[in-house]
């Protein structure tokens, strides 16, 4: 049976965890969905892992449409989310046009990075049958504003502000959240404060789901892996077994462990 927004909301309500992995082509989309991973993200991280850039900023909407269509052709029932790349949703009108392209390519939902300024765009998309995932915390498209890749939401003022933004976007119609690189106590607060399911990456064990970049969890990304990454291929005999082990570890609450978590 295909995974839908209703499926994910029921998981949240029942306290059942779900898993997400990035996917960029039909072959891996087939393997990931066959492994029972509930959700797949065509991330603009393809700029890093496929195109060799040092950020996601060079990725275009044409790139995202191409890879979304590829993933959709290989998918076997997972819920498919497509990133809207840098400046593809700078205005609500821009967002409408580009979200329509991604949905026509096979996405079930689009993902946007940002805070309270996205509320109007999210509401407009939601009212026009486009489900939206709101990405808070470390938002890679804002790397030049942040001055690097840093944990977000440290300190009471920043934490309170992020909770307020999450509530505002939840009320605007966001159907899913991604929290990236935020302290675990803050991620727990946000997960409990919003009605939509929350997926964490470097956000501790208390979110409703977990996401990793596929190349990271297979241990094939160059350089030192981020703290929140676990190499699932290292202890399994094949890529397919690694995908299955990751899904099981999330659902059984074995991942993330303390060593993958930021506490403050």
Give the count of domains, the chain: 1
CATH code assigned at 221: 3.20.20.60
Two tokens, residue 187: 């991620």
To the question of whether residue 188 is assigned a binding role by annotation, the answer is no
The separation between CA 107 and the C-alpha centre of its own chain, rounded to angstroms, equals 13
pLDDT of 147 > 70? The answer is no
171 is in an annotated binding site: no
Instruction: Indicate whether 151 pLDDT > 90.
Output: no
Residue 146 has pLDDT above 70, yes or no: no
Mind listing the pLDDT tens digit for each residue in 32-54? 999 999 999 999 999 999 999 99
44 is in an annotated binding site: yes
Q: Average pLDDT in the 103-112 region? A: 98
Percentage of the chain beyond pLDDT 70 is 98
Task: Report d(CA 168, CA 156) in Å as an integer.
Answer: 18
* pLDDT tens, residue by residue, 166-212: 999 999 999 999 999 999 999 999 999 999 999 999 999 999 999 99
Range of the structural domain that residue 67 is part of: 5-260
% residues pLDDT > 90 (the chain): 90
Contact 136, 179 (CB under 8 A): yes
Q: What is the dihedral of CA 33, 198, 129, 22, to 10 degrees?
A: -30
* Residue 45 is labelled as binding a ligand: yes
| Catalytic status, residue 192 | no
pLDDT at residue 256, as a whole number? 97
Round to whole Å and give the CA distance between 229 and 259: 9
Angstrom distance (rounded) from CA 60 to CA 63: 5
Q: Is 111 annotated as a binding residue?
A: yes
State both tokens at 164: 């307020």
- Residues 38, 93, 180, 192: which is the catalytic one? 180
Q: CA 137 to CA 115: how far, in whole Å?
A: 9
pTM passes above 0.85: yes
């Amino acid at each position: 049976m295909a995974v839908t927004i209703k499926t994910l909301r029921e998981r949240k309500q029942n306290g059942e965890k779900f898993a997400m992995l990035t996917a960029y082509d039909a072959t891996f989309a087939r393997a990931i969905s066959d492994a029972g991973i509930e959700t797949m993200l065509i991330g603009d991280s393809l700029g890093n892992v496929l195109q060799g850039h040092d950020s996601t900023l060079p990725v275009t909407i044409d790139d995202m449409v191409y890879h979304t269509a590829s993933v959709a052709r290989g998918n076997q029932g997972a819920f498919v989310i497509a990133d809207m790349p840098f400046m593809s949703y700078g205005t609500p009108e821009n967002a409408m046009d580009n979200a329509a392209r991604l949905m026509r390519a096979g996405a079930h939902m689009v993902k946007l990075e940002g805070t309270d300024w996205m509320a109007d765009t999210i509401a407009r998309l939601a009212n026009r049958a486009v489900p939206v995932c709101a990405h808070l915390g470390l938002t890679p498209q804002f790397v030049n504003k942040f001055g690097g890749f840093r944990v977000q939401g440290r300190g009471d003022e920043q934490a309170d502000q992020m909770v307020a933004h999450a509530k505002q976007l939840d009320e605007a119609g966001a159907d899913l959240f991604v929290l990236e690189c935020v302290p675990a106590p803050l991620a727990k607060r946000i997960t409990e404060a919003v009605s939509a399911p929350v997926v964490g990456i470097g956000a501790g064990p208390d979110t409703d789901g977990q996401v990793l970049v596929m190349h990271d969890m297979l241990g094939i990304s160059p350089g030192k892996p981020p703290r929140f990454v676990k190499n699932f291929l290292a202890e399994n005999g094949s890529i397919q077994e690694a995908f299955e082990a990751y899904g099981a570890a999330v659902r059984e609450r074995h991942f993330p462990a303390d060593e993958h978590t930021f506490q403050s």
